[in-house]
Structure 1
Amino acid sequence: MQTAEIRRRWLDFFADRGHTVVPSASLVSDDPTLLFTVAGMVPFIPYLTGLVPAPYPRATSVQKCIRTLDIEEVGKTPRHGTFFQMNGNFSFGDYFKDQAIEYAWELLTNSEQDGGYGFSPDDLWVTIYEEDDDAFRFWKKTAGLPDERIQRLGMDTNYWSTGLPGPAGPCSEIFFDRGPAYGADGGPATDDDRYVEIWNLVFMQYLRGEGRSKNDFEILGELPRKNIDTGMGLERVAFLKQGVENMYEIDQVRPVLDRAAELSGRRYGADHDDDVRMRVVADHVRSSLMLMADGVTPSNEGRGYILRRLLRRSVRAMRLLGVDAATFPELFPASRDAMKAAYPEVEADYARIGRLAYGEEETFLKTLESGTSILDVAVEKVRKSGSRQLEGDVAFQLHDTFGFPIDLTVEMAEEAGLSVDRSAFDTLMAEQRNRAKADARAKKTLLADLSVYSDFRAKGETVFTGYEFLETDSTVLGIIVGGESVQRAGVGDIADVILAETSLYAESGGQEADAGRIVGADFELEVLDVQRPVKGLISHKVEVTGGEVGVGDAATSIVDPQWRRGATQAHSATHVIHAALREVLGPQAHQAGSYNKAGYMRLDFNWNQALSPATRTEIEELSNNAIRNNLEVETRVMPLAEAKALGAMALFGEKYGETVRVVDIGGPWSRELCAGTHVSRSSEIGLINLVSEASVGSSNRRIESLVGLEGFRDLALERTIVSQLSANLKTPREQLPERIADLMASLKAAEKKIAEFQSAALAQRVPALIDSAQRAGGLTRVVENLGTVGSADDVRTLATTVRSRLGLEAGLVALAAEVASGGGPAKPVVIVATNEGARSLGVRAGELSKLAAGILGGGGGGKDDLAQGGGTDSAAIGAALEAIAKALPA
């Protein structure tokens, strides 16, 4: 049974039983505490927790998911994948435990001819929470399973909660027994790969309180509305129904694995390590394809970092398979063709996806070359020290800074006859993960705080009137201070205020929130921010600047008209520049993010090379011509499908409902889905002044522009600067570039001449320094304060010259000086140089420079033969040189 058929049967089964079929949400989660959609229930969390009223009593979906917590297990077990699809059915206070169990058993065991999956009841086992007698009774009644195949397990495996106060409840998992050839008898309790979990039924029936751990918390009582949340792993069922050994061999994944085998010339099934690497490639390429289809681009943070890691692990795995050349142009099309039937967007948008993937692979292959060079230097250093082990911090630096995989470091170190201090590396990685977990916990707390909004959201959605009006009369529905709902707030309080209607725009779609006020008969509030903490609800963060505001008070929201005008100019400018970009560069230059506020906008777009000055000028001229042509700006509200049929662009990272707002500037020239505020005609934008264009990743560029009056002010400032230069240099404006270039050339020639004079003067000091040499303890030493010199390089040159003049006898040179620092105050520097004879006596330049630098109030160090130190206390130069002298052999 093909994966697409398993998916179709699921949706048909539950649709026939009154469930609303909900399309998969994006892999980019709406939940601010999650980077990705990690489970099928994530899009339904607001309904399951009661934060937002459910729009339907029961629902079903096949949800795209990404999880990378077990990334190291990918390829090693039959079921671990970073991208997977979760079939789910959900009840929001409708049916409960008995019906959920009945549905699950019916779909699993009905024959394929009758629309089921055709599993034999003899192959299925069930686990339940150890105290859930209701589940035990329902399973006996529905499935007739013998008692020993309904295993009672503890809270750590069969009890669900978010980890925070809120909904919780027992769960029941369904397992398929693969047979004695795959492991020990004894059922799922053995935790053996023989038993594959295929479906988890969560019975959300209790309200939990605070707890000391995952398994230790207080149950406060039953929920007034009990919910059902179930999830069946589509890939797990697929590999069982297709008779293959694991999820990497199913129809949606195997083509990539086979292509990796062909490219490497190795046969799948011949070698365990190679098999794991091919599975990693197959999994990670598919996951990367799906992430990029949902708008994620490679970067060094957040979602982009996860994507980059998946891509680089794929490159690494192919390298370990013996392929050093680029492989993504072969692997990604194989994945595209396997996934396009279920997700047509991967084919429709493949030009962009392929460009991102191929560019990232090319960049990483170059990074591997750089990392290899750095590793070679580190290996040589270890060899010279006599050690046989590469330090863990070196391996961590290669991993963290250069993206160099640890197992590649281990492999290459072993080729050089060295081991890697994995213990130290693992400690550093653990510290990094702990920092990340601490950050995640901090973010998770924010989710708990959202529960305070549930009562307000239950009263309905906030009505936004700001498209038509800058002022709107309304009523205060709620006030939140310090995370708690209160009845009143007074002068000086910072509060979140919920209104029934508002004209103030909440930050979204790249547009910053409106500035403004909320006023009433007895109060005045300054608006600090406007957000949508939960879907459908607008919250105003305010400072009470006068009087006292209370729940139920009449209130008027007032938008700062100058701010709004600037914000609409900037947002419309973003659309205009996006259209101009696509006209100049082509449709593959797709927006990848934006931010705009009064007077300023920036736009990130998919492109992998810098724009030439001529191209920047062309984009700027096109944009300002659109302004000059006074194009009409039209907004329309329509169904999403109709908007897409009209060619309206849906921007990555944005979430759209079934009804959307379409903004046209000049008709189809710029047609985008957008909920932001806009000018009514393009001439109202005023002016677009592109001020920068730069890289924000290997495949992304960023344009920044000043808009309207701010753009004019910037140009006026440049005009003033040019006028001043023209007057001071007595040169016409159009000749300034040549005049300045001539002056720079003259200055460089003068600096070179000065440097030559200084070098000659320093060279004349060599004989005197040689004459100052003293000999003690078998060592000739020159320890001198040079006074003030031009640069640390001069001191270094003098030190090495004197060292060479000392001949073959053991010698040390320690020179200190004050060095001018870019026109700032002079700072002390010390250079220590030793020859081979001195080092044989145990004299180390690095140790001595570090000693002196500590006295100078700074730091230093270096190699045994030449080292440098510095600081801030020039008065301590004498003491620093004296310390060096005392440290030498007597």
Structure 2
Amino acid sequence: MQTADIQNRWLTFFGERGHTVVPSASLVSDDPTLLFTVAGMVPFVPYLTGLVPPPFPRATSVQKCIRTLDIEEVGKTPRHGTFFQMNGNFSFGDYFKEQAIEYAWELLTTSQSDGGLGFEPHDLWVTVYKDDDEAIGFWKKTAGLPDERIQRLDKDTNYWSTGQPGPAGPCSEIFFDRGPAYGRDGGPATDDDRYVEIWNLVFMQYLRGEGSGKDFEILGELPKKNIDTGMGMERVAFLTQGVENMYEIDQVRPVLDRAAELSGRRYGAVHDDDVRMRVIADHVRSSLMLMSDGVSPSNEGRGYILRRLLRRSVRAMRLLGVEEPTFAELFPASRDAMKSAYPEVEQNWDRISRLALGEEETFLRTLAAGTSILDLAVDKTAKQGATQLPGDTAFLLHDTFGFPIDLTLEVAEEAGLSVDRAAFDALMAEQRSKAKADAKAKKTALADLSVYSDFRALGETVFTGYELLTTESTILGIIVGGESVDRAVVGDIAEVILAETALYAESGGQEADAGAIVGAGFDLEVLDVQKPVKGLISHRVQVRSGEVGVGDAATSIVDPVWRHAAAQAHSATHLIHAALRQTLGSEAHQSGSYNKAGYMRLDFNWNQPLSPATRSEIEDIANNAVRDNLEVTTRILPLEEAKALGAMALFGEKYGNEVRVVDIGGPWSRELCAGTHVRRSSEVGLINLISESSVGSSNRRIESLVGIDAFKDLAAERAIVSTLTSSLKTPREQLPERVSELVASLKAAEKRIAAFEASERSARVPAIAASAVQLGAVQLVAEHLGELASTDDLRSLATSVRERLGSAAAVVALAASVAGKPAVIVATNDAARAAGQKAGALARLAAGVLGGGGGGKDDLAQGGGADVSAIPAALEAIRQSVQA
């Protein structure tokens, strides 16, 4: 049974039983405490916790998920994958424990010919929370399972909560027994790979209190009991397809096979090779799905996780003996395996392919650079007589250069060295600890959204700001310090919830409106407007005067100047986006934006800088659209109809079933957008493109000033031009030529000065060489040269003096004050090095006296410090060392 067939059977089964079929949410989670959607329940958490009233009594979905906590286990076990699909059915106070168990058993054990999944009842085991006698009773009634195949387990495995005060409840899990060939008897309690968990039923029925781990108090029952279940798609697929693990199912195996072909190695022949092929198959699929949901490789957040997956894939191919690029072969294999279930991977293929190939090319260069650095570190360790590469060196390579630790281990082993793995692991643990602390702090700061639940239960906030700049309403709630209160007084910073508001909440890249909320006896300055939960608008305010209370009549007032300027900027963003695509083609797709009064920026997928001519063309097209006074219209349409009309959607944005379409000049610019806009393009005013830069290997950013801010910037440039024409006594149109002449003259003068200084340095060489003294078998020059312009001058003198001294053993140590700081250069020739004199060691010795650091190669090295007065002592230290 193909994986896509399992998906269809699931959705059909629950759809026929009154569940609303909900499409998979993006892998990019709405939850600010999560980087990704890590479980099938995540999109439903607001409904399960009661924060947002559910729009349906029961639902079902097949949710895309990414989880990388167990990334080191990928490929080693039959069930660990970074990307997986969780099939879920949910009840929001509708049905509960008995019916959830009945549904699960029916779908699992109904034959495939009758639309089920076809599991044999005698192969299935069940676990329940140890005290959940009710669930045991239902399992016996529904499935007729004997006592020995229903195992009672403790809180650590069979009790669910968020880890915070709130909903909680017991779990019941269903396992498939693969048979004695896969492990020992004893059921799921043995925690053996023989028993594969395929379904988890969470009975969300209690309210838990404070505590951690298994130690928390149950405060009582929830007023509405919910069901949250999850069936692992990949686990069911590998069991029903008769393969050994999730890496061999129809959606994953093609990539594994292609990796085997490219490497010339046979899957199933060598365990370590098999693990590497599975890692490649898993990570390529995960990367494909992340990029199809708008994630791009970067050095932070979601982009860092994607980059890590891509680079681990490259590394695994390298360990299979393939050092050439392979993504052009691997990613199409994954696309073809996934497109029947997720058509977007084919629709977004151009972008995905460009990102993947660009990242592979970049990392192969990184590997080359990292290898050079590692080779130097290995050489240094060996020369010092040590047998172990320092852990901090391995960590630096990993953390700064993205150089995998296993590659460091391999290179070190080839050189006969080990790596201080304990020190490396300690540094990694410290880094993870900091990351977890940061994540926990963010979670703590944002977790208690329950304060909004009572307000959200009153209905969605009505936004009137598309048509109105003022709206009369009622204050539904006031929040101070995270707590709901009745009143706020002068000086308080508070959140205010209104039934209706004209103030725009920050979203879609547009900054929140500026404005005020006023009423009888109070005046509130609006500092920010946000949407803390779906459908609710919260105004962060400072009470400027009076006292405000819940239930008071209030009027929201938008600053009209701010709103108009913000609308200009947002409409300008659409114009620039259309101009980009007209100039560069459809591949130049917006990947993010930000706009506020007078300013806009737009990020787009492109992997090379724009030429001045292209920038100018984009600016001209956008300003011509302003001149043409195009009509701006908005309409609400079903999502699929809007897409069919060609409306552009932003990668990573979440859209409902109905969307707002903004047209500028009809189809000339057509985008899904909830922002505020001008009525005709001429109202945008002037668009002044001020910057175009890189924001990643495959992303560029355009910044522009808009309206009066654009005019002011051009006026400032005009003033600069006026000053230059006056100072240089040159007409404006001749300024470029005049400036070029001056630059050329300056470069010529600098070249003459450099030649003069070089001649002067050369003239000093004979006298410096003449100061050489014989110390045993070695000639030593150790001179303080006073002040010099640069260390390059000092280095040039040192190497010239070394050449003048000939082939006899010679050490040249020259010091000077450079920009007020001491510098020393040490140079040695072949004979001196044969006599044991190493420039690097001597430079470090002198630098220590100077209060700094130094080093380098055996033939040429430098050092520095902070104390110029210590130069004579530093040179004396070198004399003593050479003489010893």
1:856 CA drift (Å): 5.4
Of residues 237-246 and 644-653 in structure 1, the stretch that sits farther from structure 2 once superposed is: 644-653
Whole-Å separation in 2 of the counterparts to 1:478 and 1:430: 44
The question of 1:870 aligning with 2:864 is answered yes
Of residues 179-188 and 743-752 in structure 1, the stretch that sits farther from structure 2 once superposed is: 743-752
Whole-Å separation in 1 of the counterparts to 2:650 and 2:543: 37
1:839 CA drift (Å): 6.8
Whole-Å separation in 1 of the counterparts to 2:384 and 2:881: 23
User: Contact 1:758–1:790 (CA<8 Å) still a contact in 2?
Assistant: no
Whole-Å separation in 2 of the counterparts to 1:638 and 1:250: 39
Q: Secondary structure at the match of 1:532?
A: strand
Whole-Å separation in 2 of the counterparts to 1:592 and 1:341: 25
Whole-Å separation in 1 of the counterparts to 2:830 and 2:214: 65
Match of 2:110 in 1: 110
One-letter code aligned to 1:3: T
Q: Secondary structure at the match of 2:459?
A: coil
Match of 1:125 in 2: 125
User: Contact 1:260–1:331 (CA<8 Å) still a contact in 2?
Assistant: yes
Match of 2:158 in 1: 158
Match of 1:823 in 2: none
One-letter code aligned to 1:141: K
Q: How many residue pairs end up in the alignment?
A: 884
Deviations 1:759-812 (Å, cap 9, x if unpaired)? Answer: 333344445445555667887655443222211211222334445556677765
Match of 2:71 in 1: 71
1:853 CA drift (Å): 4.9
Whole-Å separation in 2 of the counterparts to 1:531 and 1:737: 48
User: Contact 2:26–2:293 (CA<8 Å) still a contact in 1?
Assistant: yes
Match of 1:451 in 2: 450
User: Contact 2:33–2:447 (CA<8 Å) still a contact in 1?
Assistant: no
Match of 1:643 in 2: 642
| Cα RMSD (Å) | 2.4
Match of 1:292 in 2: 291
Of residues 765-774 and 108-117 in structure 1, the stretch that sits farther from structure 2 once superposed is: 765-774
Q: How does 1:606-617 map to 2 (within 5 A)?
A: 606-617=605-616
1:149 CA drift (Å): 1.4
Q: Secondary structure at the match of 1:671?
A: strand
User: Contact 2:259–2:330 (CA<8 Å) still a contact in 1?
Assistant: yes
User: Contact 2:826–2:842 (CA<8 Å) still a contact in 1?
Assistant: yes
Whole-Å separation in 2 of the counterparts to 1:762 and 1:607: 49
Q: Secondary structure at the match of 2:532?
A: coil
Whole-Å separation in 1 of the counterparts to 2:456 and 2:295: 31
Whole-Å separation in 2 of the counterparts to 1:837 and 1:256: 58
Whole-Å separation in 2 of the counterparts to 1:347 and 1:798: 63
The question of 1:595 aligning with 2:594 is answered yes
1:628 CA drift (Å): 0.5
1:750 CA drift (Å): 1.9
One-letter code aligned to 2:690: V
Match of 2:499 in 1: 500
The question of 1:21 aligning with 2:21 is answered yes
Whole-Å separation in 1 of the counterparts to 2:859 and 2:608: 43
Q: Secondary structure at the match of 2:274?
A: helix
User: Contact 1:467–1:677 (CA<8 Å) still a contact in 2?
Assistant: yes
Of residues 566-575 and 407-416 in structure 1, the stretch that sits farther from structure 2 once superposed is: 407-416
Q: Secondary structure at the match of 1:754?
A: helix
One-letter code aligned to 2:149: R
Change (3 A) 1:856 1:556: farther
Of residues 794-803 and 555-564 in structure 1, the stretch that sits farther from structure 2 once superposed is: 794-803
Match of 1:48 in 2: 48
Of residues 751-760 and 433-442 in structure 1, the stretch that sits farther from structure 2 once superposed is: 751-760
Output the TM-score relative to the length of structure 2. 0.95
One-letter code aligned to 2:90: F
Q: How does 1:726-741 map to 2 (within 5 A)?
A: 726-741=725-740
Q: How does 1:723-872 map to 2 (within 5 A)?
A: 723-770=722-769, 772=771, 782-803=781-802, 812-820=811-819, 826-833=820-827, 846=840, 849=843, 853=847, 859-863=853-857, 865-872=859-866
Of residues 12-21 and 507-516 in structure 1, the stretch that sits farther from structure 2 once superposed is: 12-21
Whole-Å separation in 1 of the counterparts to 2:774 and 2:130: 85
Change (3 A) 1:734 1:386: farther
Whole-Å separation in 1 of the counterparts to 2:351 and 2:787: 59
Whole-Å separation in 2 of the counterparts to 1:841 and 1:217: 73
One-letter code aligned to 1:92: F
Of residues 547-556 and 61-70 in structure 1, the stretch that sits farther from structure 2 once superposed is: 547-556
Match of 2:529 in 1: 530
One-letter code aligned to 2:124: L
Whole-Å separation in 2 of the counterparts to 1:392 and 1:738: 56
Of residues 294-303 and 748-757 in structure 1, the stretch that sits farther from structure 2 once superposed is: 748-757
Change (3 A) 1:782 1:307: same
One-letter code aligned to 2:703: E
User: Contact 1:261–1:268 (CA<8 Å) still a contact in 2?
Assistant: yes
Whole-Å separation in 2 of the counterparts to 1:489 and 1:88: 44
One-letter code aligned to 2:463: F
Match of 2:540 in 1: 541
Change (3 A) 1:880 1:456: farther
The question of 1:181 aligning with 2:181 is answered yes
User: Contact 1:33–1:446 (CA<8 Å) still a contact in 2?
Assistant: no
Q: Secondary structure at the match of 1:538?
A: strand
Match of 1:94 in 2: 94
The question of 1:142 aligning with 2:142 is answered yes
Whole-Å separation in 2 of the counterparts to 1:396 and 1:683: 56
Match of 1:563 in 2: 562
Match of 1:317 in 2: 316
Of residues 9-18 and 588-597 in structure 1, the stretch that sits farther from structure 2 once superposed is: 9-18
User: Contact 2:852–2:865 (CA<8 Å) still a contact in 1?
Assistant: yes
Deviations 1:596-633 (Å, cap 9, x if unpaired)? Answer: 11111111111112212211111111111101000000
1:680 CA drift (Å): 0.6
1:401 CA drift (Å): 2.7
User: Contact 1:165–1:448 (CA<8 Å) still a contact in 2?
Assistant: no
Could you tell me which runs of 5 or more consecutive residues in structure 1 were left unpaired when the two chains were aligned: 821-825
The question of 1:706 aligning with 2:710 is answered no
1:105 CA drift (Å): 1.4
User: Contact 2:255–2:281 (CA<8 Å) still a contact in 1?
Assistant: yes
User: Contact 2:476–2:498 (CA<8 Å) still a contact in 1?
Assistant: yes
Whole-Å separation in 1 of the counterparts to 2:515 and 2:638: 32
Deviations 1:636-680 (Å, cap 9, x if unpaired)? Answer: 112212212222111112111111111000101111110001111
Deviations 1:340-363 (Å, cap 9, x if unpaired)? Answer: 211122222222222222222233
Whole-Å separation in 1 of the counterparts to 2:502 and 2:873: 70
1:388 CA drift (Å): 4.1
Change (3 A) 1:323 1:782: closer
Change (3 A) 1:137 1:862: same
Q: Secondary structure at the match of 1:627?
A: helix
Match of 2:519 in 1: 520
1:495 CA drift (Å): 1.6
User: Contact 2:491–2:543 (CA<8 Å) still a contact in 1?
Assistant: yes
Change (3 A) 1:852 1:262: closer
User: Contact 1:264–1:318 (CA<8 Å) still a contact in 2?
Assistant: yes
Whole-Å separation in 2 of the counterparts to 1:178 and 1:164: 36
Could you tell me which runs of 5 or more consecutive residues in structure 2 were left unpaired when the two chains were aligned: none
Whole-Å separation in 2 of the counterparts to 1:809 and 1:427: 49
1:844 CA drift (Å): 6.1
Match of 2:242 in 1: 243
One-letter code aligned to 2:823: V
Change (3 A) 1:884 1:495: farther
User: Contact 1:574–1:602 (CA<8 Å) still a contact in 2?
Assistant: yes
1:260 CA drift (Å): 2.1
1:702 CA drift (Å): 1.1
Output the TM-score relative to the length of structure 1. 0.94
One-letter code aligned to 2:9: R
Change (3 A) 1:176 1:683: same
1:243 CA drift (Å): 0.8
Whole-Å separation in 2 of the counterparts to 1:860 and 1:370: 23
1:372 CA drift (Å): 3.1
Q: How does 1:251-270 map to 2 (within 5 A)?
A: 251-270=250-269
Whole-Å separation in 1 of the counterparts to 2:379 and 2:865: 31
One-letter code aligned to 1:830: V
One-letter code aligned to 2:432: R
Identity of aligned residues (%): 80
Match of 1:584 in 2: 583
One-letter code aligned to 2:16: D
